[in-house]
Amino acid sequence: MNYYNEIKEQIINNEITKKAKDYSKNRSDLETYYNVGKLLFEAGKHYGEGIIKEYSIKLTNDFGKGYSERNLRNIRQFYFKYQKWQTVSAKLTWSHYCEIIWFDDKKINYYILISEQYNLSVRELRQRIKNKEYERLPNETKEKLKYKEETKVDDLIKNPILINNKNNYEIISEKVLQKLILEDIPNFLKELGEGFTFIDNEYKIKLGNRYNYIDFLLYNIKYKCYVVIELKITELKKEHIGQIETYMNYIDKNIKTINEDKAIGIIIVKKEDKYIMEYCSDKRIISKSYKLMYYL
């Protein structure tokens, strides 16, 4: 079998398709690279790794730029990762796949999920990879992503949660931390995961004869529940559990409707204490640490 002629034919057909049907060119690109990757994979088994360099030189002479050895290895890896064409998401471009195809399956599934959900550009995807979003997910979530299981409201909350501090404020109080989050609410909601929307900060509730203020009240559209967030610039303490639980119970009793799930609570702290959370009987309460992103 002449693998090179087969590869050349695939590329020529793809160029024709892109000119004739612009709307389908992304899918055509992916299908072409999948087929070329399969041929490269089979050619390598027959002729060894050196075939990549040989074909790179020939393809560059025939078609110009775009067929470096690195690119051909990416194309082969694309096929290796997706040996069933049906599993390829055409919502991502080839440039998206080049960013992720060398990751393990769980990590790839995560970045495909968020790229589709948020319609990420390649630049935005690259930034999320740089921020190590996947590495900051719970291990249980990574297992769910591996087998494409359904996630819960708290599964995609990062740890630590990255908070932008563009003006390099000194964090001396919860108010300052709250200010930083308010300055970049979209990024903060993305750090929490899927479906989170902002309702208010310093949300006022009345407990007995006294007013209390919830640092942030959010709503999760996907999971139909309110989300109570409390900020602490100290390590987690047991009294923080009681405070947020009171606020959650208030929301459930006075605001939640019968068609909505119970509120969840997120305590964002400077330093976690796993022992306190171990003895927290309310599994709707989550503790996450925060990390400030400073700018020079």
Domain boundaries, the chain: 3-102, 152-294
Q: What is the pLDDT of residue 19?
A: 57
d(CA 219, CA 198): 7
Q: Which residues of 40-53 are buried (b: 16+ CB within 10 A; e: fewer)?
A: bbebbeeeeeebbe
Amino acid at 228: V
Helix (H/G/I), strand (E/B), else coil: 10: helix
Total residue count of the chain as it appears in this document: 296
d(CA 145, CA 203): 34
Helix (H/G/I), strand (E/B), else coil: 62: helix
Mean pLDDT of 46-72: 94
In the sheet where 196-207 sits, what is the strand order? 161-165, 285-294, 264-269, 225-231, 210-220, 196-207
Give 64-114 pLDDT, tens digit per residue.
988 999 999 999 999 999 988 888 988 899 999 999 999 998 999 999 999
CATH no. for 152-294:
3.40.1350.10
57: part of which helix (H) or strand (E)?
helix 51-63
Amino acid at 220: N
d(CA 103, CA 142): 13
Give 203-256 pLDDT, tens digit per residue.
999 999 999 999 999 999 999 999 999 999 999 999 999 999 999 999 999 999
Give 2-11 pLDDT, tens digit per residue.
898 988 888 8
Helix (H/G/I), strand (E/B), else coil: 243: helix
**What DSSP string describes 179-235?**
HHHHHTHHHHHHHH-SSEEEEEEEEEEEETTEEEEEEEEEEETTTTEEEEEEE-SSB
Which two three-digit tokens encode residue 279?
């003895």
d(CA 125, CA 120): 6
Q: What is the pLDDT of residue 296?
A: 60
Q: What is the pLDDT of residue 26?
A: 86
Helix (H/G/I), strand (E/B), else coil: 53: helix
Give 12-23 pLDDT, tens digit per residue.
888 777 655 554
Mean pLDDT of 178-197: 95
Choose between 117 and 263: higher pLDDT. 263
Residue among 152, 185, 156 nearest 261 (CA): 152
Mean pLDDT of 23-51: 90
Whether residue 290 contacts residue 163, with contact meaning beta carbons closer than 8 Å, is answered with yes
d(CA 152, CA 154): 6
C-alpha R_g of the chain: 25
Q: What is the pLDDT of residue 23?
A: 47
Amino acid at 16: I
